[in-house]
Amino acid sequence: MFPDGTGPAADPAGAHFERRIRSFQPRRSRVTTGQADVLRRLWADWGLDIDGQRVLDLPEMFGGLPVVLEIGFGMGEATAAMAEADPGTGILAVDVHTPGQGNLFRLAEQNGLSNIRVANGDAVILLREMLPSASLAGIRVYFPDPWPKKRHHKRRLIQPEFLDLAAARLKPGAVLHCATDWEPYAEQMLDVISAHPGFENTSPDGGYAPRPAFRPLTRFEGQGLDKGHAVHDLLFRRTGTDA
């Protein structure tokens, strides 16, 4: 769809890394003319492919701002709203959904947001290969695919191996913030993160946290609430303990 260097690559990591079970499925359909145009114009400055072949210089990329990694941003409305409300924080937003990438670029351009960069590809490769230790001020994972069928639970992102990577890349005191409207996944998240030595629950009772004011109510979340789904936020602080 995009010639080399003019937009997100279809398979940025290629065959450089081992085959493994992924928590996502690439979706590149229905890119509008406007989305394709903004991706071509802005990708070189605001986008990057997760190829695993270099370590990112986040201070240079974001002008010295503290950087939060957002994994999975859908169509980007919530990401853009958070970036606009907090211009003093950089957001490195990761997704594989090309229309969403284009829409986030459109929103950033429309609202004059300079604190967003979009990473295309596998967040695990980004964390493992391309980010320095203790380089992140936070990680946000909002409404990841719950993979509800039991045989697919191994595809869920929030697993001990992912938490090892997250802990290694977060600065002490930084927060891992997850949210889901799938009750069984919320329960698994709470159990798995609570058991990890690199994190401590910010909720005094050791359970779920109220939705913080900085996380906007998304369209997807609103649809879930209309269906009677309970939304759970989990906020865990990175301790100084080695993962």
**Marked catalytic residue, from 45, 49, 95, 145:** 145
Identify the DSSP state of 68: E
Question: Distance between CA 173 and CA 71 in Å, rounded?
Answer: 19
Give yes or no for a contact between 165 and 133, defined as CB atoms under 8 angstroms apart.
no
145 is catalytic: yes
Structure tokens at 176: 């891992």
Question: Distance between CA 175 and CA 188 in Å, rounded?
Answer: 18
Identify the DSSP state of 211: P
HEC string of 118-177? EEECCHHHHHHHHCCCCCEEEEEEECCCCCCCHHHHHHCCCCHHHHHHHHHHEEEEEEEE
Question: Distance between CA 139 and CA 119 in Å, rounded?
Answer: 14
Question: Distance between CA 9 and CA 2 in Å, rounded?
Answer: 7
Q: At what angle do helices 98-110 and 33-46 cross, to 10 degrees?
A: 70
Q: Which residues of 194-233 are buried (b: 16+ CB within 10 A; e: fewer)?
A: eebebbebeeeeeebbeeeeebbebeebeebeeeeeebbb
Q: Which residues are catalytic?
A: 145
